[in-house]
């Protein structure tokens, strides 16, 4: 058997065997320095805080009536501030995490930045 044929068969078998056993959860996480980071668009582990009625009362009436906190600004990738989740369209990062905390505290629903050109 030629080396190229052997190499091709071995490579194909390796891809088939490892591709079938890939854990989808592992594709949405990265581990660094003993910490696991969630890169999924769902961000299931994101921290939330309870609403602060006194702070929510200070929000302008038009915003309270709308019920949303609209986050604007650049949504290009600038890790760890903002970058794209594994779906390559949901913006995640520390800026979105902070905006989520502000929205929670004020009793509003967060409208995160939309990806530019995606």
Q: In the prediction, which pLDDT does 78 show?
A: 84
Report the chain's mean pLDDT, rounded to a whole number.
82
Q: What is the pLDDT of residues 30-39, one digit of tens each?
A: 888 999 999 9
Domain coordinates in residue numbering, the chain: 3-111
CA separation (Å) from 52 to 49, 61, 74, 103?
9, 16, 28, 10
In this predicted structure, the answer to whether residue 68 has a pLDDT above a threshold of 90 is yes
In this predicted structure, the answer to whether residue 102 has a pLDDT above a threshold of 60 is yes
Q: What is the pTM of this model?
A: 0.70
In this predicted structure, the answer to whether residue 77 has a pLDDT above a threshold of 60 is yes
Q: What is the pLDDT of residues 50-64, one digit of tens each?
A: 999 999 999 999 999
**Residue 31: enclosing H or E segment and its boundaries?**
strand 29-32
In this predicted structure, the answer to whether residue 12 has a pLDDT above a threshold of 70 is no
């Amino acid at each position: 058997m030629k080396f190229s044929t052997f190499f091709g068969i071995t490579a194909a078998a390796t891809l088939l065997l490892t591709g079938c056993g890939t854990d989808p959860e592992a594709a949405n996480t990265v581990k660094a320095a003993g910490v696991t980071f969630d890169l999924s668009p769902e961000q299931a582990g994101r921290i939330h805080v309870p609403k602060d009625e006194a702070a929510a009362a200070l929000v302008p009436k038009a915003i309270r009536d709308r019920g949303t906190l609209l986050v604007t600004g650049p949504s290009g990738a600038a890790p760890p501030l903002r970058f794209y989740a594994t779906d390559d369209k949901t913006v995640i990062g520390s800026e979105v995490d902070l905006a989520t905390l502000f929205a929670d505290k004020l009793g509003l629903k967060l409208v995160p930045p939309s990806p530019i050109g995606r």
